[in-house]
Structure 1
Amino acid sequence: MPPQLAGGDDIGGKLGRSAGTLRVEYRAHILDDCKATPVNLTQHWGFNLSASSKQKQDKSNKIDDHTIRLIAYPGEDSPGIRRLETDGRGLPTGKLADIAAGDAHDLAEAGEHGLGRRVGARMPDGGFDHFYVWGFPTFTPPPPGAHPSMMTNTQGPDLTRCILHAPDTHLSLVFRTNQAGVQFYSANGQPPSPAPASQSGGRRKTLHSAAAAAATSSAEETGSTGAGADEEGNAERSAAFLEFGMPHATFLHKELIDALQGHDTVLGPMENYSNWVEVELWKGS
């Protein structure tokens, strides 16, 4: 169904028609005598919605012209989209940084058509490789004596948290999730195009066909520099990686746990870990 965003921001008419939805569920339960363990599952996937474009003349096929939008929960008390701070080693500090409008990290910008801002516009130094947090919805407590199930979500039923769009193919991905945020990586750390598969993740991360992968494997084993060895792998900014989950190392930082309404990612006995992500493909004209 088309996203029904807060404030009447209905972008359904700009998306076209739905081509289907994929739902991924993450579940965990302790089966042995373990007292507790942190659990924070995600899906490592990347998207290039221009890969099939007939208009694309740039063989590097970068995602710079894709638009992306992260959507915070609405409401006066909502802190909006924040970024997980990291230290000089890239480790999380447990602090969430506010993001000013127009900042390089401002991915909440609606853009001209509500589908977000260009990935290549105002890109941070080194590209995107950061965790962005929208948190969880707030609930109105039930009246005194009422059952807890009477709590109401004060921030709307729609769980659309991210939109990725390619103007040249008119393809869009709409992500819904109950997770607290997303790690967005723009693949700036990959080699420039054409990227040799052996230098950009090996056989597991190549974008070429199975036959080419087999040729690459043979070339790597023999040390050959034949056609297979030159097949292109994941090049610089060849995909938008969106990994939904909880902020990294949440369980180590009380300040972060408090900011996430007590969610500490620690799974105990008799508890079930259950989270999910849905991605819906839309085709415009």
Structure 2
Amino acid sequence: MASPETTPILLALPSLTPSLALEVLPYGLTIHRFFVQADGRTHDLVIGPESPHTHKHIKYTNTIIGRYANRLPVKELSVSSSRSPEIQASFTPLPNETPNVSLHGGQVGFDEKFWEPTPVPPGPGEAELFSGKELSTIESGVATAALFKYISEDGEQGYPGKLRVEVLVGLLQPDPLRASDPGEFNLGSVLIVYRAKLLEEGKVTPINLTQHTGYNLDASVDQKVMPIHDHTLTIKGNKTVELHPDMVATGQLTSHDSSSPYHFLNHTRIGSRYPEGGYDNFFVFDQTGEQIVKIFKETELLDADLVHEIIKPVPGKPAEPKVVLQGSQSGVKLSFATNQSGVQYYSNSLSDGSGFKKKIHGGDGRDEKKPGGGYDKGCATFLEFHEPYPSFLYPGLSPSGYDTLLTSGEIYNNYLRIDVGYTPRPSASS
């Protein structure tokens, strides 16, 4: 059943045969489809249901998550940013995973909200968190885009402060500079920029946003071989956040050597050391080079153009990806660049195989949950780019020292760019 919440907004590169397209739902700011045209076929790179409306009956499948990603303990927490120590707040996250754990923002997080879509360029007053310079850069440098906004009220799911959030989702034209391997073609890039500010004076709130997106780059090629064990994965960091049995962070990091299942520094085949329980771990990136700021003063917004730094790499020296995922059969590769300090890698290990599956991935396309009708364990690589959790309790977890706290008079800035590459496989040309 179609509704404004679940009517897809199509973003496609302007071409007779677009190499890249997204379908984005206002409900939960959900990436319903991630289309790539390569080797004469269409690939959908993300798992999920056939019908957009079905997203209202499932959780965390390609949606935004927040106000705070990942798991927080359910107890009274006191916060105060080092930038404005005089502003303090106490809050208690609402439980949803267990009585003692709040997951991805609480019982009704950002993944279940309606995100009001706005065309780009936006009309007067529709974009408050992007400067005029940035809107000009977006209009001239982004092939197609949409802006989504949401107002989170003070106290929503226990979090303090009334918050305005704006998210830009756009596509960039193919750029040969972004093809890193011999024989590789760049098919374009996906750009997501998250901005937020508090709408009241004297407030502070934790904020940690990301997309909870599940990728399978080969599912449209061979619908019978679904696990992602033959994908290769690179993560530019060999430290993970140490966890209590309830999956809440202890505040410590664990280092892994090349024999560990949690070592993905060099194009590692995911199934080569696959742990029995699969993956649900946060990897902290090695701190290398300059990073685009994660938070800045609201007074600096007028002259800011951080978007230009994201979409216009120095010629011959594109921004280094933090994570690279490549399919073994499709030849499709995703390279992820971000200003965030790490990535949560979840291998769909809690799935029981029931649920919904897209037709292009071998499903029947019905909006009926049934045993064996969904994606099995290990059939997706969920990659969630955000800061270590909870950095406001343990600032040492983040290599940049960022505490994931936003105070009045500041702008939160978080971005993800996904460069889509394709290398023809011998079977594709035979």
Pairwise same-fold verdict (TM > 0.5): yes
Partner residue in 1 for 2:181: 12
Equivalent residue letter for 2:354: P
Change (3 A) 1:98 1:230: closer
Question: Are 2:189 and 1:24 equivalent residues in the alignment?
Answer: no
Question: Are 2:332 and 1:182 equivalent residues in the alignment?
Answer: no
What are the equivalent positions in structure 2 for 1:1-285 lying under 5 Å apart?
Answer: 1=175, 11-13=180-182, 16-33=184-201, 35-53=203-221, 56=222, 59-71=224-236, 80-108=237-265, 110=266, 116-137=267-288, 158-191=319-352, 195-197=353-355, 206-209=356-359, 215-216=367-368, 229=370, 232-256=373-397, 259-285=398-424
Gaps spanning 5+ residues in structure 1: where?
A: 5-9, 72-79, 111-115, 140-155, 198-205, 221-228
User: Could you list the per-position Cα deviations for residues 239-270 of structure 1 after superposition, in whole angstroms to 9, with x for gaps in the alignment?
Assistant: 110000001111111432xx523210000011
Per the normalisation by structure 1, the TM-score is 0.70
**Which structure 1 residue ranges, 4+ long, deviate > 2 Å from structure 2?**
1-4, 135-139, 156-159, 206-215, 259-262
Q: Matched residues in 1 for 2:275 and 2:243: separation?
A: 14
By how many angstroms is 1:3 displaced? 7.6
Q: Matched residues in 1 for 2:406 and 2:208: separation?
A: 10
Residues matched between the structures, number: 222
Equivalent residue letter for 2:329: D
Q: Percent identity?
A: 30
By how many angstroms is 1:280 displaced? 1.6
Per the normalisation by structure 2, the TM-score is 0.48
Q: Matched residues in 2 for 1:11 and 1:120: separation?
A: 24
3-state SS, counterpart of residue 182 of structure 1:
strand
3-state SS, counterpart of residue 50 of structure 1:
coil
Q: Matched residues in 2 for 1:238 and 1:157: separation?
A: 31
Gaps spanning 5+ residues in structure 2: where?
A: 1-174, 291-316, 425-430
By how many angstroms is 1:34 displaced? 5.3
3-state SS, counterpart of residue 43 of structure 1:
strand
3-state SS, counterpart of residue 120 of structure 1:
helix
The answer to which structure, 1 or 2, has the higher relative contact order (CA under 8 A, 6+ apart) is: 1
Q: Matched residues in 1 for 2:394 and 2:197: separation?
A: 23
Equivalent residue letter for 1:166: G
Equivalent residue letter for 1:178: N
By how many angstroms is 1:230 displaced? 5.6
Answer yes or no: is the 8 Å Cα contact 2:345–2:382 preserved in 1: yes
CA RMSD of aligned residues (A): 2.6
3-state SS, counterpart of residue 132 of structure 1:
strand
3-state SS, counterpart of residue 415 of structure 2:
strand
